[in-house]
A and B are shown apart, each in its own frame.
Chain A
């Protein structure tokens, strides 16, 4: 049995015990939704198809005191402006659309990977582009933001990488799942640029299992949650998913078992995460988990480990930079529901309609790369 198979068995034994599911009032439904710009006839023909999002409705008992919306943008992966204008264009588009939400969102959560190589110019560019959005903005870091200067610039711009606040009956928590990588650079005397280069390659083999929450932050999480009613909703933002999907790409946090221990008593936990650049849904123990789109580019689904509860997103056209990417609008409403709306540009249908629409219909067996892991590093 491979290491991955062993881990899969363990996750099933530990977390998917018989009868254990998110609160029974929680259910996932889907409905199509015509954006108001189409209804009002304001959209051009090209826009019409880019404005047919699909809503995931998740019903949560005892949710908000009052209805509200919030927006998610992540994984803009900005290079310097002159190198890649497409990523800039897409960030600008997402920012404009979030700002145009009506009624406006209460806040924007930026889910990490604002920059591609962690450069000061890249992070500054991100701040400049997001100035379009006037509502409150909160940030969590991604690994691309962090490993050039170990979070220095990011911290100067955005402050604490993990935090919590209460908003209309929901406790929101932002986690830092990126800053606790095992030290792979000191022994090899890597320059900051080399350290960042290894970290910036999703399928790199040198940075290893860098995604994790860490004991100190877990203790903080436990303390933060201890003052919260166990039956009231908690929404946790993280860059990486808080369960194990595909470790070779850090589509996980390595201490998911400990995270689960802390969250176990809370019955209405929703984790919203970036990093995977794809439509993803899973339920682990009493937590449900939603993966969000990037604005930059879509990742393919991993060759194994895609949660069974995920309805895959449609296979995208690599010739269209606006396909397969976008942002997310989330609403917590008076009927005690949380709605997640994927705004995927360039698509009428977000989800696969038949097997042929899915990249998963063509099984693949893949090997990890080799050329990045040989002396001299």
Chain B
């Protein structure tokens, strides 16, 4: 397995705490009733980037993160990034579409699972799992700027 150096997100606890505080003080019903503050924006962005970083590590075969999230994305030493450096050729902006390999209409999450099972010979993950959301977050984040072309082969 390609081993990645560990990373510790020191700000993660702070982000979660801030979001919790906002939820308690403002209340969900009030979330969109007041102008957004810089502090809120930062907290939202950090919450997003925390998932992106998780996904980045999973995508690059980090054993520690896979273990933490309880997933086996590969059993061959291959990691997603070995065929998709910087998520190249994942084309998240082309989903959903008819996916030829599967012979069915598919979402990005379907394709992620297909890659885990076939080329990587790993174990399929729950479509709504934390690991799946993190992978999706990383792939979309990395493709920031790619233009939506849903359905394109």
Contacts and interface: CB of A to CB of B under 8 A. Distances in A.
Interface of A: 79, 83-84, 86, 116-117, 190, 193-194, 197-198, 200-203, 248-249, 297-303, 317-319, 321, 356, 359, 362-372, 374, 376-377
* Interface-central residue, B60, B89, B118, B119, by most chain A CB under 10 Å: B89
B101 interface: yes
B107 interface: no
Interface SS of B by simple majority: loop
Contacts of A318: 83, 101, 115, 118-119
Given A86-B76, A193-B3, A300-B89, 8 more contacts: A190-B5, A318-B118, A362-B94, A365-B144, A366-B146, A371-B57, A371-B62, A376-B5
Interface string B96-121: 00000100000000000001001100
Contacts of A368: 86
A344 to B, nearest CB: 16
Nearest to B56: A371
Contacts of B146: 363-366
A215 B94 CA distance: 46
23 contacts: A83-B76, A86-B76, A116-B2, A193-B3, A197-B5, A201-B2, A201-B60, A203-B85, A300-B83, A300-B84, A301-B88, A318-B118, A319-B101, A362-B149, A362-B152, A363-B147, A367-B142, A367-B143, A370-B49, A371-B52, A372-B5, A376-B7, A376-B8
B78 interface: yes
B124 interface: no
A317 to B, nearest CB: 7
Interface in B23-46: none
Most buried by B among A83, A302, A371: A371
Classify chain B's interface size.
35 or more
A197 B57 CA distance: 13
Interface of B: 2-9, 49, 52-54, 56-57, 60, 62, 76-78, 81-89, 91, 93-94, 101, 115, 118-119, 141-147, 149, 152-153
Nearest to B101: A319
A212 B6 CA distance: 28
Contacts of A356: 153
A376 B9 CA distance: 10
A203 B53 CA distance: 15
Contacts of B82: 202, 297
B101 A297 contact: no
A313 B78 CA distance: 22
B87 A198 contact: no
Contacts of A201: 2, 4, 60, 81
A366 B76 contact: no
A79 B87 CA distance: 23
A369 B142 contact: yes
| Residue of B76, B77, B84, B152 with most chain A CB atoms under a 10 A cut-off | B77
Most interface-central of B8, B93, B142 (chain A CB within 10 A):
B142
A198 B7 CA distance: 13
A367 B81 CA distance: 13
B93 to A, nearest CB: 8
A365 B78 CA distance: 24
A371 B18 CA distance: 22
Nearest to B76: A84
Contacts of A359: 89
B60 A369 contact: yes
B88 A303 contact: yes
Nearest to A374: B7
A359 B89 CA distance: 7
A191 to B, nearest CB: 10
Contacts of A365: 143-146
Contact of A362 (B4, B54, B91, B119): B91
A241 to B, nearest CB: 16
Nearest to A194: B5
B78 A84 contact: yes
B52 A370 contact: yes
Given A365-B143, A365-B146, A303 B3 contact: no
A371 B60 contact: yes
Contact of B91 (A198, A301, A364): A364
A312 to B, nearest CB: 12
A203 B81 contact: yes
A67 to B, nearest CB: 38
Contacts of A370: 49, 52-53, 56
Contacts of B86: 203, 248-249, 303, 366-369
B141 A366 contact: no
Contacts of A298: 83
Contacts of B9: 374
B88 A197 contact: no
A300 B2 contact: no
